[in-house]
Structure 1
Amino acid sequence: MRRSNRPNAFAIAILAQLSLLSTAVLAHDMVPAPAQAASILFKNATLHTVTDGVKLNTDLLIQDGVIKSIGSDLTAPDAVIVDVTNKHIYPGLIALDTSMGLIEVEMMRPSNDSYEIGLSNPQLEAIDAFNPDSEIIPTVRVNGITHAQVVPQGERLAGQSALVSLDSWTIEDAVVPSTLAFHLYWPHQEALPEDKDKRKKTLEKYQSSLTQIDRIFSDGYRYFLASNANKISTQDIRWQALLPLYRGQAKLFVHANGQKQIEEAVSLAKQYQFKLVIVGGYDAWRLGEQLNEIGAQVIYTKTLSLPMRNDEPIELSFKIPALLKQAQIPFALGFSSDWNSRNLPLAAGQTVAYGLSKEEALKSITLDAARIIGADMMGAIAAGYAANLVISTGDILDPMMTKIEQVYIDGRKVDLNNRQQQLYQKYLKR
């Protein structure tokens, strides 16, 4: 058959998309804010402190990127005065379990660095692929999100996540100190077919996946023992990277939703004395005793999802945060996405209608999130905490009422412009 020299429609489409990717998509033009030079005194604010309730008509002084003091009638001779009467100040929101900065256009492989091949990649660090100039970042922080956990994806042990600031020049600027975190994606057992042979194959496939996990961590454990005994002749970068997990210096984030998956993850954590965080956690509320026994934590990511099973109440996904609270399981809310993680405050607001108080919902995306990922002195408005602040004219958990006017990261006022707003203004002039 003769091959045509004319390019087909698919090739043209791909070239067009790559052209767009190489120009507008790879870098936004918002300039990162400089370090805080002068003290700033916010007057007459409604402060949502997270740690000490809501304070009305209260002053807030920030200096050198840190909250200096809170109180009434504060004075600071050299400070810039900002009147925020009738406005709310919240801690900056922390988005957990995101692929922000790793993905630009999901369906275009050249702009998707979230996934790596192979079953065991503990040495891989998501931060190495993070793009601080991503066009997605300004569209997310305009909703009050100042920091994000950037998480690698994979089939089993995918690598290490990082906490990043959403206003930076470089990767080095972006990284925020946090607990070392390894991410394991637990296999999901498919529904068992009625056919006997197919049923057997399905069970064998799932068991094979569990065997893979067992082999990964048993190999890592043997390397750990050899390291303790100084009997390693040749270093293996995979197991060398995993040593902090066996030493109790890191956490294992297991992505799992079903009860069976979570029970198996708990069993693994018990076996090696791992510090465990369940990500997803749809059924975690059913396992309060087991999770609390080992001090496990949960990042719940299904707040705006449909029920996982057909026979469950339609509102169950919304109620699960309150059920986790009732089971006394430490948890935070996450939103597993890149650009769609902007809906994090909406997800938190949804939980208020189904059992959480506003204070608990706000805490789940600020201080609780910071504690789970080991980010000290973040997620609250209190003396000594980082000056990550969001100033709004309404309730930040209510997208119909709130209007975010200013965002500060480490005391630096962030540019809230983004490509969406630029295009909006452009086409107003058409």
Structure 2
Amino acid sequence: MKHILTSILALGVLTSYAQNPAPARPQERAIALTGATIHVGNGQVIQNGVVVFDKGVITAIGDGSTPTAGSEVISVSGKHVYPGIISPASTVGLQEIGAVKATVDKQEIGELNPNIRALIAYNTDSEIIPTIRNNGVLLTQAMPQGGTVSGSSSVMMTDGWNWEDAVLKKDDGIWVNWPSYFARNFNFEDFSLTIQKNEKRTEAMSALLATFAEAKGYLAMQNPTPTNLKFESMRGVFSGKQNLYVRADYSKDIIEAVKFAKSLAIPKIVIVGGEESHKVATFLKENNVPVILGELHRLPNREDEDVDMPYRQPGILQKAGVLVGLSYADGWWRTRNLAFQAGTAAGFGVTDKEEALKMVTSNNAKILGIDNLVGTLEKGKQATLFVSAGDALDMRTNVVEQVFIQGRKVNLDDRHKRLYKTYKDKYEQK
């Protein structure tokens, strides 16, 4: 009992240390950002540019001659304006402190849960959200985990009082953990990784195949009775309104997963993780399958691979014509470093920095099906953007000074800044 009380008190101290800033108010008047280098997000760069937005929507963008009459003009001369960075395949908002079970809500019990919605678990009061926002990550995909079929994800804004305020696109896709031929075991004593045959694969594959086959048969019926909520939640996958996100790393698993989706006439499949996707790049291109890569800042998982293969992989896929997005996968609090992964990709094979920027903006928007709203700075799209003092893909110069989400100017206070100020004051005292 003593330990339980201690844990509760400790959690109380953590959560009551400071409050996140209140969500931004709706945009009240037109705003024009002038004099900046504008990175449109589609490969185009506008020097000494102007972007004007009103009521949360971009109304004009161009060079210095773009009209700004009637707008509140904010000079950002010498700085850089970017579309909001989009973090797919994320558990931001679904977990806070990995070691405190009560703050982790990213999966449900059971193996086949297509009806589970990550949307309603998204915690807008998370202390992590403001920290990723301060590096330009303004949209995140709340992704369920666990089991063979994990549930549905939703695309969320990093500002809002609750999940209803924060949601941009509900239930954008169903998530599947592809049963691999191999299982990885990590030894925490000597930090070694061993790969062995997955003894549970046959059982998991049988259940997965049966679930999708039954769902397709059920959805082919008119007015099926009784209603099956699990199968109803998969309707969008078969109609093309939702993506089928498949976590698969080995090349053989990737090919098998794509053929599985094709055999069921599932229109949209996305490979997530894809550690060996570069080995099947031609196959992915031929089948028009995009890839969301996981963490790049890591060592390769095979001893015979080049040490810089994770860095070079986005460039290999890009040159093969595959639509590539970048994510931080399970590193929820490290999501703030997503832009720097794009910077790394630019230095290891991606043709240029603007192409690397697309991998965390417009490419991710296309994959998630939100490119009509965000991902690039274009007239008619939402004014979800940020101003950086320097190159946002470089950790040395990424200093985010202003953030706008749907035109709302967001307070950039966060726990990191508060702690920095606290200890700066402490060590400056005589």
Are 2:244 and 1:252 aligned? yes
Please give the secondary structure, in 1, of the residue aligned with 2:247: strand
**Once the 2 structures are TM-superposed, how far is the Cα of residue 16 of structure 1 from its aligned partner?**
3.7
The aligned amino acid for 1:310 is: E
The aligned amino acid for 1:62 is: F
Are 2:45 and 1:54 aligned? yes
The aligned amino acid for 2:152 is: Q
**Once the 2 structures are TM-superposed, how far is the Cα of residue 221 of structure 1 from its aligned partner?**
1.8
**Once the 2 structures are TM-superposed, how far is the Cα of residue 247 of structure 1 from its aligned partner?**
2.1
The separation in 1 between residues aligned to 2:11 and 2:292, in whole angstroms, is 35
Are 2:302 and 1:309 aligned? yes
Q: Percent identity?
A: 33
**Once the 2 structures are TM-superposed, how far is the Cα of residue 12 of structure 1 from its aligned partner?**
5.7
Q: Give 1:155-234 correspondences, 5 Å limit.
A: 155-177=147-169, 180-190=172-182, 202=197, 204-225=199-220, 227-228=221-222, 230=223, 232-234=224-226
Please give the secondary structure, in 2, of the residue aligned with 1:426: helix
Distance 1:14 1:179, change over 3 A: closer
Distance 1:405 1:203, change over 3 A: closer
Specify the alignment match of 2:120 in structure 1: 128
Q: Give 1:252-401 correspondences, 5 Å limit.
A: 252-274=244-266, 275-336=268-329, 337-356=331-350, 357-375=352-370, 376-401=372-397
What number of residue pairs does the alignment pair up?
411
Distance 1:257 1:53, change over 3 A: same
Specify the alignment match of 2:70 in structure 1: 78
Specify the alignment match of 2:228 in structure 1: 236
The aligned amino acid for 1:31 is: A
- Could you tell me which runs of 5 or more consecutive residues in structure 1 were left unpaired when the two chains were aligned: 1-6, 194-200
Deviations 1:323-368 (A, max 9, x none): 1112211111111121111110111110011011101110110011
Normalised by the length of structure 1, the TM-score is 0.91
The aligned amino acid for 1:329 is: V
Please give the secondary structure, in 2, of the residue aligned with 1:161: strand
Alignment check: 8 A CA contact 1:51 1:382 kept: no
**Once the 2 structures are TM-superposed, how far is the Cα of residue 179 of structure 1 from its aligned partner?**
6.9
The separation in 1 between residues aligned to 2:24 and 2:159, in whole angstroms, is 7
Specify the alignment match of 1:197 in structure 2: none
Deviations 1:121-168 (A, max 9, x none): 111110111111111100110001111011000121000000011011
Specify the alignment match of 1:92 in structure 2: 84
Alignment check: 8 A CA contact 2:53 2:407 kept: yes
The aligned amino acid for 2:358 is: K
Please give the secondary structure, in 1, of the residue aligned with 2:355: helix
**Once the 2 structures are TM-superposed, how far is the Cα of residue 45 of structure 1 from its aligned partner?**
1.2
The separation in 1 between residues aligned to 2:315 and 2:130, in whole angstroms, is 31
Specify the alignment match of 2:136 in structure 1: 144
Please give the secondary structure, in 1, of the residue aligned with 2:245: strand
Once the two structures are overlaid, the 10-residue window that deviates more, 295-304 or 123-132, is 295-304
The separation in 2 between residues aligned to 1:407 and 1:155, in whole angstroms, is 37
The separation in 2 between residues aligned to 1:233 and 1:33, in whole angstroms, is 46
**Once the 2 structures are TM-superposed, how far is the Cα of residue 222 of structure 1 from its aligned partner?**
2.2
Deviations 1:382-425 (A, max 9, x none): 11121111111110000012211111111111111001211222
Once the two structures are overlaid, the 10-residue window that deviates more, 16-25 or 123-132, is 16-25
RMSD (CA atoms): 2.0
The separation in 2 between residues aligned to 1:73 and 1:249, in whole angstroms, is 41
Specify the alignment match of 2:193 in structure 1: none
Distance 1:153 1:52, change over 3 A: closer
Please give the secondary structure, in 1, of the residue aligned with 2:200: helix
The separation in 2 between residues aligned to 1:368 and 1:322, in whole angstroms, is 14
Distance 1:37 1:300, change over 3 A: same
Distance 1:32 1:52, change over 3 A: same
Alignment check: 8 A CA contact 2:130 2:412 kept: yes
The separation in 1 between residues aligned to 2:37 and 2:170, in whole angstroms, is 29
The aligned amino acid for 2:97 is: V
The aligned amino acid for 1:67 is: I
Distance 1:178 1:235, change over 3 A: closer
The separation in 1 between residues aligned to 2:184 and 2:47, in whole angstroms, is 57
Bigger CA radius of gyration: 1
